[in-house]
Structure 1
Amino acid sequence: MSWIQLTIRTEQDRAEAIGDSLSELGAQAVTFVDAKDTPVYEPKPGEVHYWPNTEVIGLFDAEDDTDIVIAALQNDFGQQQPLAYTLNPLEDKDWEREWMDNFHPIQFGKRLWICPSWRDIPDPDAVNVMLDPGVAFGTGTHPTTALCLRWLDSLDLTDKTVVDFGCGSGILGIAALKLGAKRVIGIDIDPQALEASQANAERNGVGDQIELYLPENQPQFEADVVVANILAGPLRELQSVITDYCHPVGVLALSGILVEQAEEIEQLYARDFILEPVQTEGDWAMVSGFKK
């Protein structure tokens, strides 16, 4: 099948309404793309934030009459100023194969590899975590996850208990277990994340070493290692909760932080931790240290 891609450049307050209209007008898929490489700061649960300059992209069957689609959109959204749009044909491809070809085994630190299932393992003697890209829960490709994976690889985790706060896909907790930890406690507000973590842990042969909880159901405990790859807002709001997870002389890593937010997070956690130099990758930072 051949496709036509209709791209509309707009402002954040109209992006969702235009996306809804594209769906109603027959778009097979609608996506939202940052038009100016602008970071979006953390939303609260249930919120959806768009970029100040957003491209709304609708994918249509090439046989659809896009003139009708554009006329309808101009009538609804372009009365004061005509909508800026482009139309581009897309070649017919095996999109699933194209998507799979973009994911390769990635090494983090000296020992650890994250490997998708359809690729050969580069080093059978390394610590290999098998994890396929899923629905946004984390696969190691984002700098915040990469910073945490390299940090875990640098530790001696033998027989340690680890808290993975905001566990998502379970990638950090599973990596910790494969690196020698004896027990991981994963916590997330999303029940689907807990299901993904359990499935991925079982696939990697460590399902019986991971315990998963919603925040309201978690027991009291202290851990040797705490890693929280979430966002600056929750790290601020839950500072006392996250600190209490870590027992004296335990170690902590906090990520999901933009570089310009790192100093504030450092100041909050310096009350209870001896902090190491901030590590960065691109626009993102990780704060880590030892509990006093």
Structure 2
Amino acid sequence: MTSKQDWLEMSIQSTPELVEPVSELFQRYGDAGVVVQLEGDWDPDNDQNVTTEPTKITVITYLKVDSTIQNRTAMIEIGLRLISHIQPLGQLESRTITERDWENAWKGHFTLLRIGKRIVLKPTWEGYKARPTDIVVELDPGMAFGTGHHPTTRMCLEELERYVSDGSQVLDVGIGSGILSIAAAKLGASQVVGLDIEDAAVEASLGNAKQNDVSDKIQVYKGSLPHSALDQEAFDIVVANLTANVITGLAQQIALSLRSQGVLIASGIITDRQPETEEAIAQVLTIKTRRYDGDWVLLVAQKES
């Protein structure tokens, strides 16, 4: 008889600036992805005048209770102490839960979400009667790389809805769960190529593409730019929901990937890092749009030559 797996849930309250390093730490030592919960009065339609911040940001991960649990929790605690030297973090909370409770806990973090005019994000276990014009993206959040509940993912989806047209060629750098690629395919892109340096992301995105019946439109490769499988000037749209450091480092390669008049949709950038990110992008592309959601920034830039 197979024994049931117990899990350790670890969570901590974070500032917007520290969500990224805390998430990376949890991703490294956890076993089931990372959840970022945001609570508060956020206004994504207020563009550059947003002044409100989330009242609470909680980062959560789950670890299997096994022979390595003590070492991994110790590494998380050490990492959090180091991160807290930058800015104070909340108190680390932990609790042991059963396998059944773990499955229910995951489901509690992901709910039906409408984004933009047409996009609906639906967990696989929830029923939904779609409207004729809906673009329904169905996700299994077993590995929570991106679920649409984070401001940067929402903004990227809204811009994809604006820019993707029938026949578009789209490159998704840092594909994660595949949410952006799947949405692009369902919005009319004829081909979507995803890149990610993580094996788990490649596997998760391919699984979610199959779940959404768009496997024929989406190709996923492990790695980053430049990539031997990709030609230059092959894409109408590049979407990069990454970090300021990564986007800054990839700006030139992204520009080479775009066709003339093609656009970059870039997010995952906190406002403190906006100037240097804009400077790197502006060297190779023309910035057309800036959007803000709390401390997060999205940039749209175009290749004009």
Per-residue CA distance 1:144-198 (angstroms, 9 max, x = gap): 1111001111124210110000000111011000000000010000111111111
Match of 1:89?
A: none
- Change in Cα spacing, 1:42 to 1:130, as seen in structure 2 (3 Å) is closer
Q: Mind listing any 5+ residue stretches in structure 1 that lack a counterpart?
A: 1-26, 62-92
Task: Give 1:115's match in structure 2, choosing from 107, 122, 137.
Answer: 122
Structure 1 residue 269: deviation in Å?
1.1
Per-residue CA distance 1:219-274 (angstroms, 9 max, x = gap): 32420110000101111122211221111110111110002222221121112222
**RMSD, aligned α-carbons:** 2.6
Match of 2:212?
A: 204
Match of 1:251?
A: 263
Where 2:277 maps in the other structure, the secondary structure is helix
Rounded to whole Å, the distance in 2 between the matches of 1:210 and 1:131 is 16
Task: Give 1:39's match in structure 2, choosing from 2, 8, 17.
Answer: 17
Q: Does 1:227 align with 2:239?
A: yes
Per-residue CA distance 1:108-142 (angstroms, 9 max, x = gap): 11111111122222534211111122323111111
Structure possessing the higher relative contact order (Cα contacts under 8 Å, 6 or more residues apart): 2
Rounded to whole Å, the distance in 1 between the matches of 2:127 and 2:243 is 33
Counterpart residue identity of residue 56, structure 1: L
Answer with 1 or 2: which has the greater Rg. 1
Counterpart residue identity of residue 33, structure 1: I
Task: Give 2:142's match in structure 1, choosing from 125, 134, 137.
Answer: 134
Equivalenced residue count is: 234
Counterpart residue identity of residue 37, structure 1: T
Rounded to whole Å, the distance in 2 between the matches of 1:38 and 1:163 is 27
Counterpart residue identity of residue 132, structure 1: D
Contact 1:30 1:56 in 2 (8 A): no
| TM-score of the aligned structures, taking structure 1 as reference length | 0.72
Match of 1:191?
A: 199
Where 2:17 maps in the other structure, the secondary structure is coil
Match of 1:287?
A: 299
Contact 1:132 1:139 in 2 (8 A): no
Where 1:33 maps in the other structure, the secondary structure is strand
Match of 1:12?
A: none
Rounded to whole Å, the distance in 1 between the matches of 2:182 and 2:16 is 32
Where 2:92 maps in the other structure, the secondary structure is strand
Rounded to whole Å, the distance in 2 between the matches of 1:174 and 1:107 is 15
Contact 1:226 1:252 in 2 (8 A): yes
Structure 1 residue 95: deviation in Å?
5.5
Counterpart residue identity of residue 59, structure 1: R
Q: Does 1:270 align with 2:282?
A: yes
* Runs of 4 or more consecutive aligned structure 1 residues displaced over 4 Å after TM superposition: 41-49
Match of 1:165?
A: 173
Compare 157-166 and 216-225 and name the one that shifted more. 216-225
Counterpart residue identity of residue 130, structure 2: D
Compare 253-262 and 113-122 and name the one that shifted more. 113-122
Where 1:207 maps in the other structure, the secondary structure is coil
Contact 2:110 2:147 in 1 (8 A): no
| TM-score of the aligned structures, taking structure 2 as reference length | 0.69
- Identity percentage of aligned residues: 34
Contact 2:143 2:204 in 1 (8 A): no
Structure 1 residue 32: deviation in Å?
4.3
Counterpart residue identity of residue 220, structure 1: D
Rounded to whole Å, the distance in 2 between the matches of 1:181 and 1:212 is 15
Rounded to whole Å, the distance in 1 between the matches of 2:281 and 2:163 is 20
Task: Give 1:152's match in structure 2, choosing from 131, 149, 160.
Answer: 160
1:66-85 equivalence runs, <5 A: none
Structure 1 residue 282: deviation in Å?
1.5
Rounded to whole Å, the distance in 2 between the matches of 1:200 and 1:236 is 29
- Change in Cα spacing, 1:122 to 1:37, as seen in structure 2 (3 Å) is farther
Counterpart residue identity of residue 55, structure 1: Q
Rounded to whole Å, the distance in 2 between the matches of 1:38 and 1:148 is 18
Counterpart residue identity of residue 195, structure 1: E
- Change in Cα spacing, 1:58 to 1:271, as seen in structure 2 (3 Å) is closer
Structure 1 residue 213: deviation in Å?
1.0
